[in-house]
Chains A and B, each alone.
Chain A
Amino acid sequence: MLKCLIIDDEEMSRAIIEYYCSKLDHLHIVNQFDNALDAIQFINTNTVDLVFLDIHMPELNGFDFIDSLNIPPKIILTTSDSNFALNAFEYKCIVDYLVKPIKFPRFIKAVTKVDAPKSSVESESIEKANEMYVNIDRRLVKINIPDIYLIEAKGDYINIKTETKNHIVHTTMKKIEDKLPDSLFLKIHRSFIINLKKIIDIEDNSVLIKKEVVPVSRSNRAELMNRLNLLN
Chain B
Amino acid sequence: MTETANIKYIEELADGDTEFQSKIIAIIKDEFPKEKNIFLNNIAQKNYLKSAENVHKIKHKINILGLKKGFEIAVKFESELKCKKIDSYQDFIVILDLIDNFLNKI
A residues sitting closer than 8 Å to B (CB atoms) are 9-13, 15-16, 19, 56, 58, 80-81, 100-101, 103-104, 222, 225-226, 230-232
Residues of chain A with a CB closer than 8 A to B80's CB: 232
User: Count of A-B contacts with CB under 8 A?
Assistant: 64
- In Å, the complex CA distance between A11 and B28 comes to 9
Contact, CB under 8 Å: A231 / B79: yes
Q: Does B57 contact A (CB under 8 A)?
A: yes
Contact, CB under 8 Å: A232 / B27: no
Provided the pairs A56-B53, A104-B13, A222-B68 are in contact, do residues A12 and B75 lie with their beta carbons within 8 angstroms?
A: no
The 8 A-B pairs of least Cβ separation, nearest first, read: A230-B79, A12-B27, A80-B60, A222-B68, A232-B76, A232-B79, A100-B60, A11-B27
- State the majority secondary structure of interface residues on B: helix
- State the majority secondary structure of interface residues on A: loop
Contact, CB under 8 Å: B72 / A222: yes
- In Å, the complex CA distance between A83 and B58 comes to 17
B15-54 vs A, CB cutoff 8 Å, 1 = contact: the mask equals: 1000010011001101100000000000000000000010
Q: Does B92 contact A (CB under 8 A)?
A: no
Q: Does B100 contact A (CB under 8 A)?
A: no
Q: Does B87 contact A (CB under 8 A)?
A: yes
Contact, CB under 8 Å: A80 / B79: no
- In Å, the complex CA distance between A56 and B85 comes to 21
Provided the pairs A222-B71, A231-B83, A232-B79 are in contact, do residues A15 and B27 lie with their beta carbons within 8 angstroms?
A: yes
Contact, CB under 8 Å: A230 / B75: yes
Q: List 11 A-B contacts (CB under 8 A).
A: A10-B31, A12-B27, A19-B20, A56-B56, A80-B57, A81-B75, A101-B60, A222-B63, A225-B72, A226-B75, A230-B79
Give, as a whole number of angstroms, the nearest-CB distance from A229 to chain B.
Answer: 8
Provided the pairs A16-B13, A222-B71 are in contact, do residues A10 and B60 lie with their beta carbons within 8 angstroms?
A: yes
Known: A80-B59, A230-B75. 8 other contacts (CB 8 A): A11-B31, A12-B28, A12-B60, A12-B64, A13-B60, A15-B27, A19-B20, A232-B80
